[in-house]
Amino acid sequence: MQSTSILSAEVTVALPEKSLVTLTINGEKKQLELAPWTTLLDALREYLDLTGTKKGCDHGQCGACTVLVDGKRINSCLTLAVMKEGASITTIEGLATVDENATVQLHPLQDAFIQHDAYQCGYCTPGQICSAVGLMNEGRAKTTDDIRELMSGNICRCGAYPHIVDAISEVMQIDKNS
């Protein structure tokens, strides 16, 4: 009988504990000292106190963490913050504007979600709205069926889908019977 021996060596790799990262969030530059494995979602919620972006599944399957990076929608739970240095990141908190009289002007989609009661518990709403803004930026949705398909990465456990589609259709001026 022949004996086989497997040699093993312990390898130690030194990883930097923290990195200085500059992110542009909602038009403002923010410098953060982050572990290189910190997700954009955790950087927003835990380091910047921007809690509108929600942590749902933490696997990129529910869309609750959707934010806009350079106008495109992404799942922030699947993105490392260090990878977005130099990008323009917009969260739900950055969609509304404040005028010279300190009056808050909601983004048209935020207003439409309110008008169409496109939320119930509200947990998915920030991700839904950010995703809808990204959808509009993409310019591919021409019908309500397109909206349904292109929003399919955002899950609403309450089932407010018809109201969500109505709100998006109104802002995009798409006939909801199309």
pLDDT class of 5 with cuts at 50, 70, 90: low
pLDDT class of 41 with cuts at 50, 70, 90: very high
Please provide the DSSP assignment of 132-162 as one string.
HHHHHHHT---SHHHHHHHTTTS--TT--HH
Name the percent of the chain lying above pLDDT 90. Answer: 87
Q: Are 85 and 21 in contact (CB under 8 A)?
A: yes
Domains of the chain: 20-94 (3.10.20.30), 97-172 (1.10.150.120)
Is-above-0.85 flag for pTM? yes
Cβ count near 86 (within 10 Å): 9
What pLDDT does 73 receive?
98
Taking only the tens place, the pLDDT of each residue in 90-127 is 999 999 999 999 999 999 999 999 999 999 899 999 99
What pLDDT does 144 receive?
97
Taking only the tens place, the pLDDT of each residue in 117-162 is 999 899 999 999 999 999 999 999 999 999 999 999 999 999 999 9
What pLDDT does 11 receive?
73
Tell which residue, 176, 173, 122, has the closest CA to residue 144. Answer: 176
